[in-house]
Structure 1
Amino acid sequence: MSEHVIKLPDVGEGVAEAELVEWHVKVGDVVREDDVVAAVMTDKATVEIPSPVDGEIAWLGAEVGDVVAVGSPIVRIRTGEAPSADAPMDDGAEKAPAADGMSAQGEDLPPPPEEEAPDSADAKSAEKRPAEGKPQPHSPSTPPRGNRGTSAGGIPRPTGEKPLASPAVRLRARDAGIDLRQVPGSGPAGRITHDDLDQFISRGPQAGAAPGLARRTDIEEVKLVGMRRRIAEKMATAKRHIPHITYVEEIDMSALEDLRAALNKSRPADSVKLTLLPFLMRAMVRAIDDQPQFNATFDDEAGIVSRHGGVHIGIAAQTPAGLVVPVAKHCEARDLWDCAGELNRLSEAAKAGTASREDLSGSTITITSLGALGGIVTTPVINHPEVAIIGVNKMQMRPHWDGTDFAPRRMMNLSCSFDHRIIDGYDAAVFVQRIKALLETPAMIFVEDR
């Protein structure tokens, strides 16, 4: 029997290493040619690694979350004729002897017959006797099954069932702060005795806790791998390197919402629908025309700010795999409906996990929105190495003072963060106020400045 080694393949585009995000096999599994054995991730692209041969998994060379260099061995597969189902198991050096009470796979083994409790046979026969119509014997120290109020584990009695106990026992329980419904009784008809109370108290204070209020001391450790790990690293980089300044402004969206509804109504039912985001994208393009320093990336190691002519707007999107930022390229060359169509395409690709590397890279400024969950104010984290991010909060009807009276208006806050090394507070305010003016008077979005 020979052995085949699978090495981490070159996934292309200059990638020198990849993170192992999932094993599809374990040691001892039998695989066939083209069966997927593992999945690795590089720059938000997940690549599945198939088996090139038939055989049995003999060794796995990494754990989930490990970063593996291209060309490193990750799987060894024993090849050759597989043993038949009737063939005896190999007891060679690779199979360690089982420990007492454990199988080779770590499973509990049943106790040998001679280790059974002496009265196990009697107990089994006693359990059968009630079904045969015979009375079940009991000793004076063990109450009949039907007389027990609850199990010894302290399972509460059914709702409305009053525990049976003498006044003295009730007084002791009340003084000790014990709920008698949690105390199993051993007396006739489940009556709780002083001995039952003593045993319950000896088990500790938690024994009397009401259901759902018991203390929990368990700890679940979850290793960050794959997309979640990349998100954590990117957020940490952004907060560590970028001194954020956040500017919040309230915007009256009433006119824009009326226009949006009218435009959607004018289009065929099967055409793409306008949301708020295409209007915001076009307003950002107009504001960037006035202040191009907001459509930039900053290389803080080289000390170089790159101002981009093309407006490539990243749209932070929540997916089952985590937060991704698909990018609508060249929004300066897209009209309102083109922006809406591109947003729809990118959203579907991100949710389905089919977004390409091109779709997920190259942004120069980002929009983040939680929709109806957007809250009143947020503090968005800048998408490093960009210098600005526009945060959309939820829209809601609020009373708004129009100069003479309060009127109900559809209001929304924008929460925008900027890299304070590149963007001064005054410039940030001017930028947001320009976007505000365009959104509150949406016809201006379509008017070209001369």
Structure 2
Amino acid sequence: MGTHVIKMPDIGEGIAEVELSQWHVKVGDLVVEDQVLADVMTDKAMVDIPSPVHGKVIALGGQPGEVMAVGSVLISIEVEGAGNLKESAAPAPVKEAPVAPKVEAAVESKPAAVTAPRPAAVCQGPMVAREANERPLASPAVRKHALDLGIQLRLVRGSGPAGRVLHEDLEAYLAQGQSNASAPAAAAYAQRNDEEQIQVIGMRRKIAQRMQDATQRAAHFSYVEEIDVTAIEELRAHLNEKHGASRGKLTLLPFLVRALVVALRDFPQMNARYDDEAQVITRLGAVHVGVATQSDVGLMVPVVRHAEARSLWDSAAEISRLANAARNGKASRDELSGSTITLTSLGALGGIVSTPVLNLPEVAIVGVNKIVERPMVVKGQVVIRKMMNLSSSFDHRVVDGMDAALFIQAIRGLLEQPATLFVE
């Protein structure tokens, strides 16, 4: 038998060190070629590191949360063959992902010699036995629902992709083990003394660092304006009815992207990056719109490149593709970097007002709040209109308050008179 030492690979872009986010194997596990061994976190994305060999894990080179230099020992695997010590860098990463790691299907190769690692959880009906430190995959809404019901999420079998726990899984768990109607209410009012400590590593650490850096370095100020979106919502409904089947459905986002593109022609100072160390502002002709997207591990910002050259449907298709890629763990580092201005929206949960944090080194971020119907006075008459607030933030080191207000007012005019979005 021999030992194959895998070193931290050079992921590119001049990256000298990465953070070890999560192990997918442990000492004693049997692994096969191309099986994912670990997730590492760069400044931009999560990267899966695969095994180049079959063998047995005999040593791990670090702990989750540890920052490791490129070229340092990642893992040691016992392999069949000569007893020489072999060293290699891990092969090229098989996937770049900003979301929680997926469960990889083990591939059997030479069953007599190598078998797939045993599953970490054993399922029986809607109940599952997981290891005490294993964190099941679930959305924040499902975690909140489980907390309200007094359910330990690690005991619930997930029926979603990669074993993700869904709302219906919680209902199935209750139906099997707590079928009486008073159980959920009783559980919700039961005393609780449990605690959960969550290590801030990987993507969550990067998000925390970027948010802290942004608020400490930039001079944030926010500006909120109310917009009547009745007309553009009517246009959107008309276009969806006429072209939705052939071109795809339009949300409000591609209209907002178009409004940004048109408004930036008169306010190029908003489509800029500020290098505060070099004291240089770079204004860009290309409009690369970052679209803030929520994933299971936090906020991602995939980038719609060259929005100035895209039609409504082209923008809509690209927004949808990038959002799905980010949520499903398939967005590349290039797709998560390079934005010049960011658009952020919480959809139906958008609230009345928000104060978005800048996506440095950008100098402007436009935040979208929810649409509500309200009585408004129009030409002396009280009518019901669809209203929406834009809550936007700017870097006051670069953007003057008057310019920010005029920029948002320009967007307001374009959205309230949607024909002007397409007048050249």
2:228 to 252, 260, 274: 252
Contact 2:9 2:71 in 1 (8 A): yes
- Cα distance change of structure 1 residues 44 and 263 upon mapping to structure 2, 3 Å threshold: same
Q: Which amino acid aligns with 1:380?
A: P
Secondary structure at the counterpart of residue 415 of structure 2: helix
Q: CA 1:54/1:262 → structure 2, altered by over 3 Å: closer, same or farther?
A: closer
Deviations 1:36-55 (A, max 9, x none): 32222223333333333443
1:265 to 241, 259, 264: 241
Structure 2: tracts of 5 or more residues without a match: 82-179
Query: Which letter does structure 2 place at the counterpart of 1:5?
Result: V
Shift of 1:12: 2.5
Corresponding residue for 1:323? 299
Say which of 281, 297, 304 aligns to 1:305. 281
The alpha-carbon deviation at position 159 of structure 1 amounts to 12
After superposition, where does 1:169-318 map in structure 2 within 5 Å?
216-267=192-243, 269-318=245-294
Aligned to 2:45: 45
- Once the two structures are superposed, the pairs formed by residues 52-71 of structure 1 within 5 Å of their partners are 52-71=52-71
Aligned residues: 323
Question: What are the Cα deviations for residues 194-235 of structure 1, in whole angstroms up to 9, with x where unaligned?
Answer: xxxxxxxxxxxxxxxx97656544332101222211111111
1:308 Cα offset (Å): 0.6
* Structure-2 separation of matches of 1:47 and 1:420: 35
Q: Aligned partner of 1:254: which letter?
A: T
**C-alpha distance in 2 between matches for 1:47 and 1:443:** 44
Q: Which residue of 2 aligns with 1:391?
A: 367
- Residue aligning to 1:381: 357
Match of 1:367 among 336, 343, 346: 343
Within 5 A, what are the aligned runs for 1:132-147? none
Structure-1 separation of matches of 2:331 and 2:65? 23
In the alignment, structure 1 residue 342 sits paired with structure 2 residue 323: no
Match of 1:406 in 2: 382
Q: What is the alpha-carbon distance in structure 2 between the residues aligned to residue 350 and residue 417 of structure 1?
A: 24
Change (3 A) 1:54 1:277: closer
2: CA distance, partners of 1:237 / 1:344: 29
1:35 to 1:211, Cα distance in 2 relative to 1, 3 A: closer
Does structure 1 residue 15 correspond to structure 2 residue 53?
no
> Any idea what the Cα deviations from partners look like across 1:293-349, whole Å, max 9, x if unmatched?
010010111111111111111100112232111111111222222222222222222
State the Cα deviation string for residues 371-409 of structure 1 (Å, max 9, x = none). 100000000111111000000000010011114122110
% same residue: 57
Give the Cα separation in 2 of the matches to 1:324 and 1:159. Answer: 40
C-alpha deviations, 1:173-204, integer Å up to 9, x for none? xxxxxxxxxxxxxxxxxxxxxxxxxxxxxxxx
* Runs of 4+ residues over 6 Å off in structure 1: none
The residue that corresponds to 1:152 in the other structure is: none
Higher relative CO (Cα under 8 Å, sequence separation at least 6) belongs to 2
- Name the residue aligned to 2:31: 31
Report the counterpart of residue 429 of structure 1 in structure 2: 405
> Relative to structure 2, which stretch is displaced further, 55-64 or 243-252?
55-64
Runs (5+) with no aligned partner, structure 1: 82-157, 161-209
Answer yes or no: is 1:3 the counterpart of 2:3.
yes
1:69-108 pair list within 5 angstroms: 69-80=69-80
Q: Residues 331 and 55 of structure 1: is their aligned pair in 2 closer, same or farther, counting only changes over 3 Å? A: closer
Question: Could you say if the C-alpha distance between residues 393 and 54 of structure 1 is closer, same or farther in structure 2, counting changes exceeding 3 Å?
Answer: same
Per-residue Cα deviation, 1:228-266 (whole angstroms, up to 9, x for no partner)? 111111111111111111100111111111111111222
Structure 1 position 283, deviation (Å): 1.2
Two-structure CA RMSD over aligned residues (Å): 2.2
Structure whose residues are more often strand by fraction = 2
Does 2:309 correspond to 1:333?
Answer: yes
Distance (Å, rounded) in 2 between the aligned partners of 1:48 and 1:288: 38
Instruction: For 2:30 and 2:422, locate their aligned partners in 1 and report how far apart those are by CA, in whole Å.
Output: 63
Q: How far apart are 1:276 and its partner, in Å?
A: 1.0
The structure with the largest alpha-carbon Rg is 1
Alpha-carbon distance in 1 for matches of 2:382, 2:262: 31
Quick check: 249-258 or 44-53, which moved more? Answer: 44-53
SS at match of 1:267: helix
CA deviation digits over 1:92-115, x for unaligned, max 9?
A: xxxxxxxxxxxxxxxxxxxxxxxx
SS at match of 1:434: helix
CA distance in 2, matches of 1:261, 1:51: 50
* Native 8 Å contact 2:45 2:336 kept in 1: no
